[in-house]
Amino acid sequence: MRLRHSQISFINFMKDNLLIMSSFLNSFDNDNYDETRTSKKTSDKKKSEQNDAILDVADLDDKSKTDTKPKLRNNGKRSQRSVEQPEHDKRDGIEEVDTDYRKKKIIKYSAVGGSVVAVLLIGVLTFFLLNQVTVKSFVNTPINDAKTWALQNNINLETEYVYDKQYDENVITEQDIPADSNVQKGSTIKVKISKGADPEELIKIPDFSKMNTSQIEAWVAENKASNVKIVKQYDDKIANGTFMSMEYKDKSVTATTYKRKDILTVTVSKGKEVFEKNIAVPDFANKSKAEVEAWAKTNLIEMTYEEAGSDSIMEGMVISQSVKSGDKIAKKDKMTVTISKGKASVVPWFGDASSQTAADLGAKNDLQVSVRTEYSDSVAYGELIWQSVSSGTYLYGTDKKVEVVYSEGRPYMSLIGQKENSIAPYFFDFKSKGANITYSIKYVNSDQPKGTVVWTSKDSQYLGMNDHIEVHVAK
């Protein structure tokens, strides 16, 4: 079995202290005790001889002072005591010293041994206390926080990833060692980490059309349906918070087969968009229409353009604006500017002129006039049939064109005596001037030269606008 770092440290610590204790106790074995005992005997004998010598010196002093005490000391008893006492001390003293010394040594070494054991116990207790950490509560915290704590405290993390709808992804859901427990450094804590909600789980889609935005959002959060995208958009007609539409990315998915992994877009209304009036309107006077258009596009202004003639403002430049400069408006507000069409030309009544003088009349009014004539069975010759622009109309810019048509009266027929090659141009002229006159040719014997028109069904008279003429040509 593989040992943890803290266990190895503790074993080494105990090993060192036991070696110290063993070395100390080994110094107090039987051999050492006998040696100590002999040494003690020799020491006590020397101390006894020294005491006797001191007593003899004391007796000699007393003898010089008095005669009675020396006599008593010299009666042989003192000498006997002096000789016998060491023997008695030797016998009794050894006996007494052996017992007391052994007891004292036992007590002494017991005390020392007890102290060593106490030190060892204190060391062991201190080691365990200093080598412990208090477990935190990791539930509902990110796994990275737990990894940081484990690294700082020399703790091993054993992780297991599981699906859990209750917790967000990469958040710890369980731990095998309760919070506030004490564990040794190098220990292992098992934790379970959420992979989020199971993407394969079937989710019943409710009827969103009966729900508002808040209810839809609450449903999404409750079911951890992160693939349901709620799109909010402004709508001038649908009230704020109202369901608008929903669409599955995979067209085969339905409300009953929807899984959490499927993508669904739900669109809801934000109601009518209201903007703050924080856009300052510039002075567009004498600005071009293109400049106004660019400003309106940038600021999302609904700009309306009107046109008017001006003798002083060039064509295409701003004459006026509906919101004065400096006022503030909001996005999508409406505004109108009037653009100059340039100096106006008033179209005259060309009935006062003829086909010969109409061009000159137009030139006086800065107009380009085109003149042509047509046949008419209702308008007299030379009279104005129509003009393309009504009189009194103001024309602007460079394209001031007017077309006028004058009457040539009714078409008149006079073709006899003409050559055959003049027939087609003759009738084409009728048609180009508005008369729908047709013809047919018949070749006849005649004393006239070949190819001469010898007869027409109508001749030297006015024709109707839709007549048909038969023409005889000499063959």
Q: Residues in the chain, how many? A: 475
Q: Are 222 and 194 in contact (CB under 8 A)?
A: no
Residues of the chain with CATH 3.30.10.20: 134-194, 279-340, 345-407, 412-474
Number of neighbouring beta carbons within 10 Å of residue 81: 14
Which runs of E-coded beta strand occur in 122-239?
Answer: 132-134, 156-162, 172-175, 182-184, 188-194, 228-233
**Among 455, 459, 346, 358, residue whose Cα is nearest residue 400:** 346
Fold annotation for 412-474: Trypsin Inhibitor V; Chain A (3.30.10)
Helix (H, G, I), strand (E, B) or coil at 134: strand
Q: Are 260 and 225 in contact (CB under 8 A)?
A: yes
The two counts, helices (H) then strands (E), for the chain are: 10, 23
366: phi > 0 → left, psi -120 to 50 → alpha, else beta; which? left
Environment class of 351 (CB within 10 Å of its CB; exposed 0-12, middle 13-18, buried 19+) = middle
> Looking at this protein, which amino acid is placed at residue 77?
K
Q: Are 244 and 279 in contact (CB under 8 A)?
A: no
Please state, in angstroms and rounded to a whole number, the distance separating the CA atoms of residues 117 and 119.
5
Q: What angle do CA 339, 344, 349 make, to 5 degrees?
A: 140
Please state, in angstroms and rounded to a whole number, the distance separating the CA atoms of residues 359 and 373.
13
The continuous run of DSSP H or E covering 245 comes out as strand 243-248
Please state, in angstroms and rounded to a whole number, the distance separating the CA atoms of residues 415 and 453.
7
Quick one: tokens of 461? 């008279």
Domain 279-340 carries which CATH code?
Answer: 3.30.10.20
Quick one: tokens of 340? 């100059």
Helix (H, G, I), strand (E, B) or coil at 165: coil
**Among 362, 319, 314, 323, residue whose Cα is nearest residue 338:** 319
Fold annotation for 134-194: Trypsin Inhibitor V; Chain A (3.30.10)
> In the prediction, which pLDDT does 335 show?
97
pLDDT tens across the length of the chain (475 residues): 344 445 555 556 555 655 555 554 455 444 454 554 555 455 555 555 555 544 454 444 444 444 444 443 444 444 444 444 444 444 444 444 566 777 777 777 777 777 777 777 776 666 666 789 999 999 999 999 999 999 999 999 999 999 998 999 999 999 999 999 999 999 999 999 999 999 999 999 999 999 999 999 999 999 999 999 999 999 989 999 999 999 999 999 999 999 999 999 999 999 998 889 999 999 999 899 999 999 999 999 999 999 988 888 999 999 999 999 999 999 989 999 999 988 889 999 999 999 999 999 999 999 999 999 999 999 999 999 999 999 999 888 888 999 999 999 999 999 999 999 999 999 999 999 999 999 999 999 999 999 999 999 999 999 999 999 999 999 9
- Phi/psi of residue 91, each to 5°? -75, -55
C-alpha 195 chain-centroid distance: 21
Q: At what angle do helices 94-130 and 30-65 cross, to 10 degrees?
A: 130
Quick one: tokens of 76? 């042989």
> In the prediction, which pLDDT does 326 show?
94
CATH architecture of the domain formed by 208-269: 2-Layer Sandwich (3.30)
Q: Are 187 and 4 in contact (CB under 8 A)?
A: yes
pTM: 0.41
Q: Are 394 and 448 in contact (CB under 8 A)?
A: no
Q: Are 63 and 71 in contact (CB under 8 A)?
A: no
Q: Are 421 and 442 in contact (CB under 8 A)?
A: no
Q: Which long-range contacts (CB under 8 A, 24 or more apart) does 214-222 make?
A: 214/241, 216/243, 216/266, 216/268
Helix (H, G, I), strand (E, B) or coil at 432: helix
Which runs of E-coded beta strand occur in 120-176?
Answer: 132-134, 156-162, 172-175
Q: Regarding beta strands 394-395 and 318-321, do their DSSP bridges make them parallel or antiparallel, or are they unpaired?
A: unpaired
CATH architecture of the domain formed by 345-407: 2-Layer Sandwich (3.30)
Quick one: tokens of 41? 């005997």
> In the prediction, which pLDDT does 104 show?
73
Please state, in angstroms and rounded to a whole number, the distance separating the CA atoms of residues 411 and 472.
20
Helix (H, G, I), strand (E, B) or coil at 291: helix
The continuous run of DSSP H or E covering 144 comes out as helix 143-152
> In the prediction, which pLDDT does 273 show?
85
